[in-house]
Amino acid sequence: MLGQGFVSAASIAASVLFILSLGGLSNQEKAKRAVWYGIVGMAVAVFFTAFGPGIGGYWWMVPMMIVGAVVGVYVAKKVAMTEMPQLVAALHSFVGLAAVFVGFNADLERRRVLASQLAEGATEGFSAFAALVATKTPAELTFLQIEVVLGVFIGAVTFTGSVIAFGKLAGKVDGKPRQLPGGHLLNAGAAVLSLLLAILYLNGAGFWTLLLLAALAFFIGYHLIMGIGGADMPVVVSMLNSYSGWAAAAIGFTLSNDLLIVTGALVGSSGAILSYIMCKAMNRNFINVILGGFGGSKGPAAEIEGEQVAIDVAGVASALNDADSVIIVPGYGMAVAQAQNAVSELTRKLRSAGKNVRFGIHPVAGRLPGHMNVLLAEARVPYDIVLEMDEINGDFANTDVAIIIGSNDIVNPAAEEDPNSPIAGMPVLKVWEAKQVFVSKRGQGTGYSGIENPLFFKENTRMVYGDARSTIDSLVPMIE
């Protein structure tokens, strides 16, 4: 068993590694090294926590750690990049549920201490946490209860919210916003009841108050995320990431674990900051995200005139061969078709022909922040031609060809033209300003969010139906 000095030093080292990891993820070229910082930091944290003072039960804890590691490796190898968003949501749910269980156990240990009057010195046979509880003053025990309440409430909201997010991202739950009759009044009522139960719990009520509090929080998490539309799920995943961090921080206070406090605060604050940045990018209100009050329609959508006109691959190749400048806008459809390598080859071929090729990336393209950047980096697309929306939006008017690969909402002109659209006011890539627009799409459906896109009906737009990877594979040999 390691001494407390080793554990404290390891906590500081792990915290520094986590901070370096977060800092490195802001740069694509440093991202791999940043991930390794995180891996080493987590390994140090787990080892020194597991073998620190007051820890026991190794006969079952070590096997469970091995099982968890094996499951983690298996999932990491099996899950495709297209499934990464739902995997992240699932992992958030584990953090939330862990917070709930730790909160329950902490309160049971607290009651056990009080019932046996452990504070008078009878510590034999009790856990290290119970012994710690025995040393606390009445005021400190009240703070412990507050920490338990926060951990259980935030954890329960995170758990069910993440489960619903997983279902929506995986297509197992309808992506359209759904709420029970009463809408936000139900959420408000559940929150008020949760506050009353917390007050009762802090004033000495039984364990049942904590159970009911968790049940209400489970409902709030479920109902909040059910009320959010599919177009806004990237922001939801980021927000749930923040919730999971605050839940972990609450666990850290409960267990007097400095590393959990620091790590939880890092995850919570970074997730909240990222959510705020994404809300600005989508013209959403940050408070509405927290309350689950966005993603629905404001009224009847505007009528769309015209028809979708199809074109074959040869027609697209002819336009590309005549073009001087090309902007490619990838979306989740590229991820589904696993077309990033084909897109990379098309880019190489076009650049070899002397054409100015760039990529336009919307902040919420795909199902996860940075989803498209990761896929393009994986396919070895040069970093310097992958530009953010603000950097490239003014260039579409001077671009010969815009190629849209599996994108819908992020290139939807209804965001600017239709005040009743669910995405009204959301900044989008103005691809329709290009001279010619080609949209690679599986079919004529509305896509994940269920929102019709007037871009597909514009006179300078042509639709290329079919699997994106097959389409681009056929296109590459025709580029001269």
Alpha-carbon dihedral angle through residues 49, 53, 57, 61, given to the nearest 10 degrees: 10
Q: Are strands 356-361 and 386-388 parallel, antiparallel or unpaired?
A: parallel
Phi, psi at residue 331, to the nearest 5°?
-140, -165
For residue 417, the 8-state DSSP code is H
Other Cβ atoms closer than 10 A to 474: 17
Among candidate residues 177, 200, 180, the one with its CA nearest the CA of residue 189: 180
CA-wise closest residue to 251 among 151, 145, 140: 151
Q: Which of 409, 418, 467, 473 is catalytic?
A: 409
Q: How far apart are CA 143 and CA 136, in angstroms?
A: 10
Q: Is 409 a catalytic residue?
A: yes
Rounded CA-CA distance 78/65 in Å is 20
Q: In the structure encoding, which two tokens stand for residue 127, read together?
A: 């856990």
Where b means 16+ CB within 10 Å and e means fewer, 110-129 reads beebeeeebbeeebeebbeb
Catalytic residues: 409
